[in-house]
Amino acid sequence: MKNVGFIGLGNMGMPMAKNMMAEGYVVTGFNRSKGKEQGFSEVGGKVGYSVAQLAETEDVICLCLPKPEDVERMVLGEDGILNHAKEGLYIVDFSTISPKLAEHLYQVCHQRNIHFVDAPVSGGTTGAEAGTLTVMVGGEKEVFSQLYSLFKSVGEQIFHTGAAGSGTKVKLLNQYMVGMHTLAVAEGVGLAEQSGVDPELVYEILSQSFAQSKLYDRHYPNFIAKDQFDGGFAIELLFKDLDLVREMAEESDTPLTIGRQVTSQFEQAAHSDLKKKDMSAMYKFINKQ
């Protein structure tokens, strides 16, 4: 399975597609913004094919799209993958969608002898570029095994999480904690400044203490200390994920007391001028309103 169609050449998808090519896969890219396709072509990728053509010709189609509705349209739309898929096609969704949608896509594809797995990733753009992502795969174990080499081309930590939708559930738990940790860093750094303590000193000490976290190590030196919040993972996208967490909690009748407060803060920020800034910009939203 060396012929791969990759739909969604954004901040995550582009480096992932490049890493697949570096491992010997022949990758054809598709993106709504044709400028992205041009950039992919310049690094050796194939372009110029419709979604329908990819479904008819490729062994595997990967999706890396920002919203659940984008994924649903690409798979189930009139000009989408399923209406044109050859029998035995593999579909890998690297996006973060809802567990319910992942389960539905699996069922619909399974009825057509199409193999679908939800395989959301964690590690951000840095991990995507370095090929060190964590990949959480929900679906049939046999299909996971058949696609393992593909997953290894983009990630280091590859996990089969269980049935379809389970990879998405694990990813949403990750995003839930990312949201909480991001607000903890934002408020903690703000409190240090307002209390007259050097935030650089605080970071030096706490990064060697129990307060250390990957989010603190990411947000403070790379964004907050530089007062630079462009690129990275947008606040509005993390809010989208937190809203999916809310749906997941409601469906399982699990109260998330702290989660409601976290999601509310991100919802407000997602409707502010900071919405397209990196999630670390919650520091500015919390402390500079």
- At 215, which amino acid appears? L
Looking at 162, 189, 219, the residue that finishes a domain is: 162
**CATH number, domain with residue 182:** 1.10.1040.10
Contact (CB, 8 A) for 28 and 47: yes
Same domain? For 147 and 254 the reply is no
Q: By residue range, what is the domain housing residue 231? A: 169-287
Same domain? For 151 and 207 the reply is no
Same domain? For 148 and 208 the reply is no
Determine which one of 171, 240, 277, 284 is catalytic.
171
Pairing of strands 133-138, 121-122: antiparallel
- pTM of the predicted protein model: 0.94
Same domain? For 200 and 218 the reply is yes
What is the residue-level pLDDT of the chain in tens, covering all 289 positions? 799 999 999 999 999 999 999 999 999 999 988 899 999 999 999 999 999 999 999 999 999 999 999 999 999 999 999 999 999 999 999 999 999 999 999 999 999 999 999 999 999 999 999 999 999 999 999 999 999 999 999 999 999 999 999 999 999 999 999 999 999 999 999 999 999 999 999 999 999 999 999 999 999 999 999 999 998 999 999 999 999 999 999 999 999 999 999 999 999 999 999 999 999 999 999 998 5
Same domain? For 189 and 52 the reply is no
Same domain? For 38 and 90 the reply is yes
Q: Which helix (H) or strand (E) holds 258?
A: helix 257-270
List of residues 6+ apart from 78 with CB closer than 8 A: none
Looking at 140, 162, 184, the residue that finishes a domain is: 162
Q: Is 171 a catalytic residue?
A: yes
Looking at 113, 137, 162, the residue that finishes a domain is: 162
The number of domains in the chain is 2
Same domain? For 118 and 178 the reply is no
